[in-house]
Structure formats: structure tokens, C-alpha cells
Amino acid sequence: MPYPEGHKLKVRKHIITSAAKAFRTHGVRNISLPYIMKGAGLTHGGFYSHFENKDQLVIEACHFAISDTIELLKKVADKHEDQPKIQSVIEFYLSSVHRDQTEIGCILPALSGEISQLSEEIRNAYTREFKRFLEFITDMAKVDASTGYALVSSMVGTVALARAVSDPKLSDDLLLAGKTQAKLIIASSKG
Amino acid sequence: MPYPEGHKLKVRKHIITSAAKAFRTHGVRNISLPYIMKGAGLTHGGFYSHFENKDQLVIEACHFAISDTIELLKKVADKHEDQPKIQSVIEFYLSSVHRDQTEIGCILPALSGEISQLSEEIRNAYTREFKRFLEFITDMAKVDASTGYALVSSMVGTVALARAVSDPKLSDDLLLAGKTQAKLIIASSKG
DNA sequence: GTTAAAATATTATAATCATCATATTAACTG
DNA sequence: CAGTTAATATGATGATTATAATATTTTAAC
């Protein structure tokens, strides 16, 4: 067989990486397959020898993006040993760095509004990935499920809004208030 | 002059109403001008005699949608005299009714993810309308600005996620946790 | 009724998209 | 190096889009 062992798998991975990056920054519907393929160093024609259709790619990209974010947050948590891990994670998630670096940021705020309008398959995938993220945060914060829901909703909503508004001061203030709030949520659940 | 007095203004209002309804349900980019015009009982050709372009319509639709939501929430608040107004508002905003009736629901969760990818003009308009909503909630809850930020971020994030996930139980639980959380935010700000 | 301006509809344009068919290239095997 | 075939590129299709130009309809005023 031509092409080295695992070549196609590697290319497939490149496409997923390019897609995840694009989706995180521009959403799903505004990103074209030609654009994604170009980001992977390819032309658009070969796409369908790798994926059944665009939906399938969205599903895989969501999975990759959440795995990527969870890994990143784990690293962030391990970096600061002087405070509880969840503290570091929240401070990063609600930082201006995370708000601004959408390309490598959490995909949940980026797609939260759009998902409800996409195919059932994509919604199911998003739900699966959301649950994964939810579990990660809930475990790390050592809180009950309900508190975990509130915490993640608040985090996702804050980042989405902080990214949306064009007033830099307001955006910063949203992040700050979100951080204060998140700490309060955790503290009050332990009281 | 042909056509009755104020005819064009009335039609213009119809277009904005149709657009706001469509945007709240399907976002901005996935909705076409022909679709909006059909919703107003017209064909697409006449659009440009009413608006400069699609962006202009988005801006006006956002303004209308937020006004509409604020009015609705005021009515909801006035309905229940047995509890603080903010309580009623939060209970409605985080209800399954509001989650499911996207057509007449708050536009903030629907567009929160998409806005950052749209034109500067639209972002500015969204920011203006967001501030208007923020002020409305903050005043009604009688909390300081920072608490208002946290409260609205939590509300918007919760509804966006509750609309996004395809698991009905999870969606309900998100709303429930959001309500509990919102009340906590307000209570703690007064302590 | 006729007219004329305003409002709306029809049609056109050029771009972009997802998807598909076909042609070309790359690289392992012998 | 030649042959085979997987991987990729090129090009096509048909749909949809925002926008614009032109044609038609509507209705108030005469």
C-alpha cells in the first residue's frame, strides 16, 4: 500500500485539529470545509475520503476540543500547588487570556447559542462533551451535582458574554464578577 | 402620496418583528433575508428600500428584542405580588417555558456565542442592548453592579446551555440549579 | 376613472457553500 | 525502475446567499 503506515490517520487528525480551531473561533456554520481543509494543508476535494460529511467532522472536533481543554486545565491546576486546583482552573477559565485566545479556548461558550439549531446528532455530541466537562469541574471542585451545574453555567455564560461585548471595561468586569461568584458558589456549597 | 399614512413604518416594524423572531430562534447567520421577508408577508426584493443592509436590520432587531423581553419580564414581575419582583423574573427566565419558547424569549443566550464573530457595528449594538438588560435586572434585584454582572451571566449561560443540550433531564436540572444559584447570589449580596 | 409616485415583486448577479466525479499525484512493492 | 493503488487535487453541480436593477402593482389625489 502506498503512503506510510498511519499516514491517513495523521492527516485525519490534522483536519480535526484545524476544524476544532476554526469552530472555536468562528462557530460551526460560518466555517466552510474549504477553509478547514486549507488549515490542514489540503484542498477541499479530499474531505469526503476522510469524513462522511460536515456533521461528522463537527462531532469529532467537539470531542477533540473538550479533551484538549480538559488537558489544558489539568496542566493549569498542577502548576499552582499553593491553592486548591479548582481555584486555579476558575482563575484561568475566567481570565482575559482565555477570553481572548479563542483558538485554543473552551468550545462550550463558542457554540452554546448555535448548537440548538444544528442537527440532532451534533446536539447529542455536544451534550456528551458538555457532560464530560461538567464531571471534570464537579469532581475537581468537590461539589455536588447541582452546584456543579450552577458553576459551569456561570463559567460558560460569563466567558460567552465577555467575548461578545465590545466594551473592554465591561468585558473585564464580567470576568471579575464571574470569578468572585464562582468562588462564592464553591464556598457556599461546603458551608 | 400613495399608500396610507405610516404604511411604510408599519411594514418596517413587521420586518423587524419577523427578524427578531427568526434571530432569537436560529441565530443571525443562519437566517436569510428572503426568509425574514417571507415572515413579514413580503418578498425579498423590497428589503433594501427599508434597510441599508442586513447588519442594520440585525441592530434594530436586537434593540426590539431586548425591549420586548424587558416588557415581558415587567409584566411577569407585576403578576405575582406575593414575592419580590426579581424573584418572579428569575423564576420565569429560568423556566422551561422560557427555554422552549425561543421565538419570544431573550435574545442574549441565542446570540452570545455568535456575536463575537459579527461586525463591529453589530457587536456595539449587542453591547448596548446587553447593558440595558443588565441595568434592568440589577435595578430590580437591588444589587450592586458586580452582583448584577454575575447574576445576568449566570442566567444567560444557564438558558443557553439548557437550550443546547439534548438531554431533557439535564436541561431541567440546569435550570433548577440556575434558579437556586440566582437566589443565592442575591441573598449573599444583601448579607 | 386617470395619473403618478411610492411600495413591492420579479428577475439578475456574483459569490460561496456542501457535496460529488474525475483526474492526478505520491510512494510502497516487486 | 515500473506498476499499482491509496491519497489528494481539480473541477463540476446545484443550492443558497446578499445585494442590485428593473418591472409591476397599489392607492391617494385629482
**pLDDT more than 90, % of chain A:** 87
From chain A, pick out residues whose CB is under 8 angstroms from the CB of B145: 173
pLDDT at B159 over 70: yes
Taking CA atoms, B115 is separated from A26, A79, B175, in Å, by 10, 33, 24
**pLDDT more than 70, % of chain B:** 98
Sequence-ordered list of residues with C-beta below 8 angstroms from that of B172, at least 6 positions apart, any chain: B96, B162
Q: How far is the CA of A106 from the C1' of C17 (A)?
A: 27
Indicate the average pLDDT of chain A. Answer: 95
CB within 8 Å of chain B, chain A residues 124-153: 124, 126-127, 130-131, 145-147, 149-150, 152-153
> Is residue A17 packed enough to be buried (19+ CB in 10 Å), middle (13-18) or exposed (0-12)?
middle
Q: pLDDT tens for residues B24-61?
A: 988 999 899 999 999 999 999 899 999 999 999 999 99
Residue A81, chain B, CB below 8 Å: the answer is no
**Domains with residue ranges and CATH for chain B:** 7-190 (1.10.357.10)
For the record, the C-alpha cell of B157 comes out as 449561560
Indicate the average pLDDT of chain B. Answer: 95
* The predicted structure's pLDDT at residue B5: 76
Q: How far is the CA of A44 from the C1' of C20 (A)?
A: 12
Residue A62, chain B, CB below 8 Å: the answer is no
CB-based contact B58:B111 (threshold 8 Å): no
pLDDT at B101 over 90: yes
pLDDT at B191 over 80: no
Taking CA atoms, A165 is separated from A28, B30, B119, B143, B162, in Å, by 20, 21, 12, 22, 22
Q: Per the CB < 8 Å rule, is B112 touching A157? A: yes
Q: Per the CB < 8 Å rule, is A117 touching B26? A: yes
* The predicted structure's pLDDT at residue B111: 94
Q: pLDDT tens for residues B42-52?
A: 999 899 999 99
Q: How far is CA A146 from the centre of its chain?
A: 21
From chain B, pick out residues whose CB is under 8 angstroms from the CB of A177: 146-147, 149-150, 153
Q: How far is the CA of A27 from the C1' of D22 (A)?
A: 38
Nearest CB among A156, A173, A185 relative to B149 is that of: A173
Q: Cα torsion for B67, B70, B72, B74, to the nearest 10°?
A: -140
Average pLDDT score over residue span A133-139: 98
Q: pLDDT tens for residues A164-177?
A: 999 999 999 999 99
Q: Count how many residues are written for chain B.
A: 191
Q: How far is the CA of A114 from the C1' of C25 (A)?
A: 39
A/B interface, count of CB pairs below 8 Å = 175
Sorting pLDDT into bands at 50, 70 and 90, what band is A59?
Answer: very high
* The predicted structure's pLDDT at residue A191: 67
Residue B112, chain A, CB below 8 Å: the answer is yes
Mean pLDDT lowest for which of A97-101, B5-9, B18-22, B126-130? B5-9
**pLDDT more than 70, % of chain A:** 98
| HEC secondary structure over chain B | CCCCCCHHHHHHHHHHHHHHHHHHHHCCCCCCHHHHHHHCCCCHHHHHHCCCCHHHHHHHHHHHHHHHHHHHHHHHHHHCCCCCHHHHHHHHHCCHHHHHCHHHCCHHHHHCCCHHHCCHHHHHHHHHHHHHHHHHHHHHHCCCHHHHHHHHHHHHHHHHHHHHCCCHHHHHHHHHHHHHHHHHHHHHHHC
pLDDT at A86 over 90: yes
Sorting pLDDT into bands at 50, 70 and 90, what band is B1?
Answer: low
Helix, coil or strand: residue A50: coil
